[in-house]
């Protein structure tokens, strides 16, 4: 084992910022998530809306990437991307996915599992139109997840579509929103001595069952 590996193995942190108690948590996981996300925003955590998205392809190999949640309500959590990307192709074949938020500064993790569906065209249009012009052109310019010969391809594509659409690019047919409809939530709060708080909410009929899991 190298000296660097030895130093990594020795890294330790004591989690002592907060606690997560059944009695003090919300009965509805969406309300608990809303509280924690707003606390992360108030604490000025870097990119509090960043989340890891995990999907599984037809070869049964999982893959992850970071996406940004752009909305959430009782229907689920919404993010936007290229439908022809690797994640889009994997979701087309297997709509089950998982999300994870990690707010390091608050010693908190939220894990969400569920089924993914496409957002409506109206939702995707509205969000696309709200984006900066460069981002709207970028959705046309980038053949996401495909091999390209160099950055010049992206620059040339951006120039081409910028000249074509000027200030009013339409939403590309291959770009839009997804909504993950949760079936399982987990909220993890770091605690001292590795005796972390971990609450799971699972669907039971028309409601949610809240239960504590061993960390």
Q: Which uninterrupted H or E stretch holds 40?
A: helix 29-42
Tell me the helices (H) and strands (E) count for the chain, helix number first.
6, 9
Angstrom distance (rounded) from CA 144 to CA 13: 38
**166 three-state secondary structure:** coil
CA angle 213, 71, 161 (to 5 degrees): 130
Angstrom distance (rounded) from CA 185 to CA 198: 10
Hey, what are 88's tokens? 């889009």
- Cβ atoms of 30 and 96 within 8 Å: the answer is no
Give yes or no: 171 in active site. Answer: no
Of residues 194, 198, 210, 212, which has the active-site annotation? Answer: 194
Active site residues: 194
């Amino acid at each position: 084992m190298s000296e660097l590996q030895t130093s990594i193995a020795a890294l330790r942190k004591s989690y002592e910022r907060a606690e997560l108690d059944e009695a003090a948590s919300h009965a509805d996981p969406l309300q608990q998530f809303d509280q924690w996300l707003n606390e992360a925003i108030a604490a000025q955590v870097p990119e509090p809306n960043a989340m890891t998205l995990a999907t599984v392809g037809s070869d049964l190999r999982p893959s992850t990437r970071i996406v940004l949640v752009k909305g959430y309500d009782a229907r689920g959590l919404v993010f936007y991307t290229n439908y022809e990307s690797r994640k889009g192709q994997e979701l087309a074949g297997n709509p089950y996915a998982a999300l994870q938020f990690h707010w390091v500064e608050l010693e908190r993790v939220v894990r969400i599992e569920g089924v993914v569906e496409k957002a409506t065209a109206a939702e995707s249009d509205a969000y696309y139109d709200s984006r900066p012009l460069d981002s709207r052109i970028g959705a046309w310019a980038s053949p996401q997840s495909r091999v390209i010969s160099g950055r010049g391809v992206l620059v040339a594509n951006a120039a081409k579509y910028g000249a074509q659409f000027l200030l009013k690019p339409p939403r590309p047919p291959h770009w839009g929103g997804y909504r993950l409809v949760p079936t399982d939530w987990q909220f993890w709060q770091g605690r001292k001595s590795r005796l972390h708080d971990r609450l799971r909410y699972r669907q039971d009929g028309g409601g949610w069952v809240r239960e504590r899991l061993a960390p």
